[in-house]
Structure 1
């Protein structure tokens, strides 16, 4: 088996003459946390949409575990262990935390639409649901409706529902967006905890989070790869500082 769980080769997408992603080559090492960063409009979320088939590439290939998945449907992607979170928390607001995770378990076990099943049968999933909530520190919120939970806890609940699908590869889109300092720290620690035994690719704007979590970083700018490497190397790259931090190459090298 390859050391790379996910690769893209010359990935491109054209939106009516606008080349939003051009020639992107990614190599995501198995068992790592790989961050994709860049200024607004760099193409980060578009790349995520290509990986999860919300957009079809105009050119290039996507390879997952050695298999070309370029033309797979979104459901096929999810069924083979690639699960994505979104910038906005995607839990069911008027269900409890336990019910949200239990629905994810039903999806994984192929009984998502068996709403006629007795409450007793559904409750048989509660033990595993509570285990997933325990992984993200939400045992005490099991009977709390998602709409009543603080924002940081909602993001933790979304990660719990993602874990219930048993992903091999987790794609996290701006996991700390809109959070205060305390919630950012908690979710950062949570991502590190749940990364054990799986691979995580994350789009993230908070460089402090990236520095703490990422084993490798890809910097995008205007739809192209600008730089790659560990944080220590990428953060000192003059071109990155100019594009991402608003510091000119001359200032960066001064």
Structure 2
């Protein structure tokens, strides 16, 4: 992987809390145009690492680079403007707005007019066409005028992805996108992530190994804050150290 292929990388990224090291000298490289999964047992440091990358936490030491630029000391709003968008950051899912209105709000944020409350609602109609295109992209075109609170959980997650896409991310960070879903919703959202990944880069924290196996190009396994293994699913799932970390026994990681 040459430097032109890397969209996000870290150098010895470390975060300690009162003597406890949650992320320990992590050197992560995310290839442009890939789906990269960050996995690990509970307490491995996945969420802390995500919070460092999206600037909700400041590292104790180490560096973060996006497109070769040092963003270590930037604020969440600054990196969002650069195109690093975390799903929940802008998941403008308001329960009493329609599906279309939710996406339109996210598009309005992209225009920088989100605080123009005095403008008439009709002034937002120019955004309808793009909002409808995004709803088609995430498979919600039949729910355009549905009040969001009436959506099934999996479709609400699809709407969150639509609002994320509305911000035109260069790098999407998805935090446990299938958490709490039934089998049918997991399949639907997994297929959706795979579809919207075309021409984009996705870094995701995910616990469901079936999801990882089916769509991730590369996997980084964390254990106790450090990188335990890295590579494609087949290689990582057969790594004895990974099997031991997940299962405590020498069987292939499949769940």
Q: With structure 2 as the length reference, what TM-score do the two structures score?
A: 0.95
Separation in structure 2 between the aligned mates of residue 188 and residue 90 of structure 1, nearest angstrom: 21
The residue number in structure 2 matching 1:230 is 232
SS of the residue 1:125 aligns to: helix
Report matched runs for 1:36-75 at 5 Å: 36-75=38-77
Which of 146, 149, 154 is 1:147 aligned to?
A: 149
Q: Is the 8 A contact 1:86 1:174 kept in 2?
A: no
String of CA shifts for 1:89-120, please: whole Å, max 9, x gaps: 76222211111100110110111111211122
Paired residue secondary structure (2:28): strand
Q: Is the 8 A contact 1:220 1:226 kept in 2?
A: yes
Confirm or deny that 1:208 pairs with 2:210: yes
Aligned counterparts of 2:238 and 2:154: Cα–Cα separation in 1: 31
Please give the residue correspondences for 1:7-26 in structure 2 after superposition, counting only pairs within 5 Å: 7-26=9-28
CA apart distance, 1:245:
2.6
The answer on 1:80 being equivalent to 2:82 is: yes
Deviation string for 1:47-86 (max 9, x for gaps)?
Answer: 1100000000000000000100000000001011001114
Aligned mates of 1:86, 1:15 — CA distance in 2: 24
CA RMSD of superposed structures (Å): 1.6
Deviates more, 1:182-191 or 1:119-128: 119-128
* TM-score (ref. length: structure 1): 0.95
| Aligned residue pair count | 250
Gaps of 5+ in 2: none
Report the equivalent of 2:176: 174
Q: How has the CA–CA distance of structure 1 residues 124 and 153 changed in structure 2, closer, same or farther, with 3 Å as cutoff?
A: same
Deviations 1:22-60 (A, max 9, x none): 000001000000000000110101111000000000000
The 2-side partners of 1:175 and 1:246 are apart by 26
Off by >4 Å, runs of 4+ in structure 1: none
For 1:108, the equivalent position in structure 2 comes to 110
